[in-house]
Amino acid sequence: MASAPAKVILFGEHAVVYGRPAIAVPVHSLHADVEATPSPAGAGVRIAASDLGRTVDLRDAPEDDPLALAARLTLDALHAAPPDVTLTIRSNIPVASNLGSGAAVSAALARALAAALGAELDDARLSALVYEVEKLHHGTPSGIDNTVVVYGQPVYFVRDQEPELFAIRRPFTLAIADTGIASPTRVAVGDVRALHARDPDFTTPRFDAIGAIAHTARFAIATRRVATLGPLMNQNHALLCELTVSCAELDALVAAAREAGALGAKLSGGGRGGNMIALAEGVDRDRLKRALCEAGAVRVIFTEVR
């Protein structure tokens, strides 16, 4: 058995693609699990993804199948021949909701296949492997999803630099509300790229401001000033709205969270759907969940960041 957690981006999405810092944290209550079991001789590698209604035979899977690519990259990294094994995937991470479902599945699959071979991939090699699979999902990913999912720790991330794993000095609670709308990260990232190409004088100061927010938030977390994260979340959301990656459904959830007492709220991830996160410190959870559901959330979970 192998597992990998979901993730949320606290600060810095989209700007992280352009070299500004971002902060992401694992969500251990949501995870992908992969079980490796022996298959008959000559069966090769089979991947059973019951949640997706798919079974993949590695021998005839296309090159652009992300499950097959994760398995092939693992075998290449270990210089191993395909074993006779069935990899069964189970995940409670909603797909296309900016929670890192694809990265978590790839990481858990690679770990399970390596274990079936009596081997192990270190976190750095595994993260690089998962990043290659993420390119199929997102086109030009920042690298933050594979990093936080593989390491399973909070990450301060700047593209093309070594990720900084850090400790949460004072745990805090987030509410994660799902719009129920699939969030095509590849499309949102592409639209921001097109906007940046057309009008860099508009986008660049907003990327800078988002990066400054992430830097300030890192200091606030390090100094236990959790309450100050709320206003920073509000500022980050406003800037993402200006970059056109929010939507009416996300804005409704943000407003509902704030009205129900959350200290701050913002979209998390690519936007245009997916999830909103809210700082739920000192808030009546039942009241907050009810308000979010009434505002259109299809599911609400609470997670402690620690």
Q: What is the pLDDT of residues 161-194, one digit of tens each?
A: 988 988 898 999 999 999 999 887 888 999 999 9
Considering 157, 188, 218, which residue would you say is the last residue of a domain? 157
Any domain includes 162: no
Instruction: Tell me: do 179 and 145 sit in the same domain.
Output: no
What is the domain extent for residue 268? 168-305
pTM of the model: 0.87
Instruction: Tell me: do 150 and 173 sit in the same domain.
Output: no
Question: Long-range contact list for 131-137, CB < 8 A, 24+ apart?
Answer: 132/69, 132/73, 133/66, 133/69, 133/70, 133/73, 133/102, 133/103, 133/106, 134/102, 134/103, 134/106, 136/64, 136/66, 136/69, 137/66, 137/102, 137/185, 137/186
Count of structural domains within the chain: 2
Instruction: Tell me: do 145 and 208 sit in the same domain.
Output: no
Instruction: Tell me: do 63 and 18 sit in the same domain.
Output: yes
Instruction: Tell me: do 128 and 263 sit in the same domain.
Output: no
Residue 14: which CATH number? 3.30.230.10
Query: Tokens standing for 79?
Result: 């210089």
Percent of the chain with pLDDT over 70: 100
Q: What is the pLDDT of residues 7-27, one digit of tens each?
A: 999 999 999 999 999 999 999
Considering 157, 188, 211, which residue would you say is the last residue of a domain? 157
Q: Active-site residue numbers? A: 145
Q: SS3 for 214?
A: helix
